Amino acid sequence: MVSAAEQLAANLNFSALAKADELKKRIWFTLGALIVYRFGTYIPLPGIDPSAWDQIFKSQAGGILGMFNMFSGGGIHRMAIFALNIMPYISASIIIQLMTTVSPTLEALKKEGEQGRKVINQYTRYLTVFLAVFQAYGISIGLEGAGSVVSDPGWFFRIETVISLVGGTMFLMWLGEQITARGIGNGISLIIMSGIVAELPSAIANTLELGRQGALSTGLILLVLIMCVVVIAFIVFMERAQRRLLIQYPKRQVGNRMFEGQSSHLPLKLNTSGVIPPIFASSLLLLPTTVANFNAGEGPAWLQWITVNFGHGRPLFLIAYVSLIVFFAFFYTAIVFNPTETADNLKKHGGFVPGIRPGERTAEYIDYVLTRVTAVGALYLAIVCLIPEILIAYAAVPFYLGGTSLLIVVSVTMDTVAQVQGYLLAHQYEGLIKRSKLRGRRR
C-alpha cells in the first residue's frame, strides 16, 4: 500500500509554487541577497590602480590567485571589497571542527545541544575576524610590493584595506546566515556557488574566443563541453549514492499488546567530505608556485625545484594532487562521522545490525564499511578533479570548467532543489490536512 507521503511525493510538481506564498518570499529574499553580493564584487578597494593590478593578475591567473578568484566570483580579479569572500569563515569553521576532536571543552559544548552550538558559532565568528585580518593585511603588503598597483603605499593604505576586506567578509557572513534563516538553501554555499555561476558565461566566452583565434581546436571545445555534461551527470549520481546498513529493532510490549520489531537503515554517504578535499589539496599545491612567481623567480633552490616540477599537468603535481585528495577525504570523514558514537546511540535505542553484536563490534563493523565507502568516494573525487586538471594544464581551459567548480555548483544546486521540494511537499501536506478538516466539519 502506498503511503500518503509517497503519494504526495509522486504528485509533487513545481506548479504548486504559485500557491506557496512563504516559499516565494524565501526565494525572492535569496535572490535579492545574492544580487547584493554580486554588486559588492564590483566595488574596488580604495587606493589601487585597477589596470596595473589587472596585468599582474593575468600573469598569476594560473596559480592560487586563479583558484581563489573562482571562489570569490571574480572579486580578486577586480580586487573588490569582497575579495576575501566567505573563505575565512569556511576556514574558521573547519578549524573549529578539527579542534572539537582534540579539545574536551569544545567537545562538551558540541554535545550540549542548541546552547552549545551557539557558543561554538560565536567562537567561529571570532576566529573568522582573526583570519580575515591576517589575510587582509597580507593582501595589503602584497599589493604594495606588486609594483605600481598602490598609488600611496603606507600604513594608511594597509589600515583601510584591512577594514574594507574584513568588513566585506563579515557582511557576507551575516548575509549568508540571513539567507539560511530567511531564504532557501544554505547561505554560505549559495554565495560561493553564485560567484562561480556568475563567472561561467565569461569563462565560456573566453574558451570560444580561443577557439575562434585558433588556440583551441573545435574538436577540443566539443570534448570539453561533452566532458562537462558527463562530469555533471557523474557527480549527481555519486552524490546521491549511499551505502545503507540494515538496522533492526527488537519486539516490544506495550501493555498487553506485543509490537513487531521494526527495521530501518543507517545511510552512509559515498562522499561524506564534500568539496573540502579538492579545495585543501589545490591550496597546498598552488601556494609554493604563487609565492615563487611573486618573487619574480628568485628564492631558494628547493622552491625553484617545486615551482618547476609541481606546475599544472606535471606528473608530480598530478600524483600529489590525487594523494592529497584521498588523504583529506579520509581525514575529514573521520572528523565528521564517529562510528563509536553511532554504535553507542544505536545501542541506547535498542537498535542493532543483524549478525553483529551491539557496542564495540558494531562500531568496528561500521568503521569497516565506512572505510571502504570512503575509498570509493575518494576515488570519485580524484577522477572528477583530475581529468579537468589535465585539460586546464594542456588546453588552457578556464578554472571555472574544472572539477572543483562543477562539484560545488552541482552539490549546492541539488541541496537547494531538495529544500524547495521539501517546502512544496509540506505545503501540499498542509493543504490536505485543511481540506480533510473542512470535510469533517461538513459531516
Say yes or no to pLDDT of 300 above 80. no
Reduced to 3 states (helix: H, G, I; strand: E, B; else coil), residue 205 is helix
Burial status of residue 268 (CB atoms within 10 A of its CB: 0-12, 13-18, 19 or more): buried
Q: How crowded is residue 104: how many other Cβ atoms within 10 Å of its Cβ?
A: 8
pLDDT digits (tens, 9 = 90+) for 149-193: 888 888 898 899 999 999 999 999 999 989 988 888 888 888 888
pLDDT of residue 299: 57
Mean pLDDT (the chain) is 79
pTM of the model: 0.78
- Over range 276-290, report the average pLDDT: 71
Q: How crowded is residue 424: how many other Cβ atoms within 10 Å of its Cβ?
A: 20
pLDDT of residue 35: 92
Say yes or no to pLDDT of 356 above 90. no
Contact 149, 52 (CB under 8 A): yes
pLDDT digits (tens, 9 = 90+) for 307-330: 677 666 677 888 888 898 898 889
Grid cell of 262 as nine digits: 521494526
> Which of 170-184, 248-262, 272-286, 406-420 holds the top average pLDDT?
170-184
1-5, 292-296, 395-399, 428-432, range with the lowest pLDDT: 1-5
Domain segments of the chain as ranges:
19-216, 217-395
Q: Do domains 19-216 and 217-395 have the same CATH topology?
A: yes
Please give the CATH architecture assigned to the domain spanning 217-395.
Answer: Orthogonal Bundle (1.10)
pLDDT of residue 9: 45
**Under 8 Å CB-to-CB from 19, ≥6 apart: which residues?**
427, 431
Read off the DSSP letter of residue 15. Answer: G
pLDDT of residue 397: 61
Polymer length of the chain? 443
Contact 292, 301 (CB under 8 A): no
Which helix or strand (DSSP H or E) is residue 244 part of?
strand 242-248
pLDDT of residue 170: 93
Specify the higher pLDDT residue, 372 or 116.
372
**One CATH from 1.10.150.120, 1.10.10.60, 1.10.8.350, 1.10.3370.10 for 19-216:** 1.10.3370.10
Residue percentage of the chain with pLDDT more than 90? 9
Q: How crowded is residue 426: how many other Cβ atoms within 10 Å of its Cβ?
A: 14
Which has the closest alpha carbon to 77: 64, 62, 61, 89?
A: 61
Contact 285, 386 (CB under 8 A): no
61-70, 124-133, 409-418, range with the lowest pLDDT: 61-70
Q: Is the dihedral of CA 103, 109, 113, 115 positive or negative?
A: negative
pLDDT of residue 236: 87
pLDDT of residue 328: 87
pLDDT of residue 129: 92
pLDDT of residue 166: 93
The residue type found at 344 is D
**Under 8 Å CB-to-CB from 220, ≥6 apart: which residues?**
211, 395
Say yes or no to pLDDT of 359 above 50. yes
Where does the pLDDT of residue 33 fall: very low under 50, low under 70, confident under 90, or very high at 90 and above?
very high
Contact 116, 109 (CB under 8 A): yes
Contact 59, 217 (CB under 8 A): no
| Helices of type H across 145-217 | 155-182, 187-213
95-109, 294-308, 371-385, range with the lowest pLDDT: 294-308
Say yes or no to pLDDT of 27 above 80. yes
Specify the higher pLDDT residue, 59 or 56.
56
Say yes or no to pLDDT of 293 above 60. no
Say yes or no to pLDDT of 259 above 50. yes
Specify the higher pLDDT residue, 278 or 203.
278
Grid cell of 354 as nine digits: 543483524
The backbone region for 185, taken as left when phi is positive above 0, alpha when psi lies in -120 to 50, beta otherwise, is: left
CA distances from 307 to 286, 416, 418 (A): 9, 40, 43
80-94, 168-182, 239-253, 423-437, range with the lowest pLDDT: 423-437
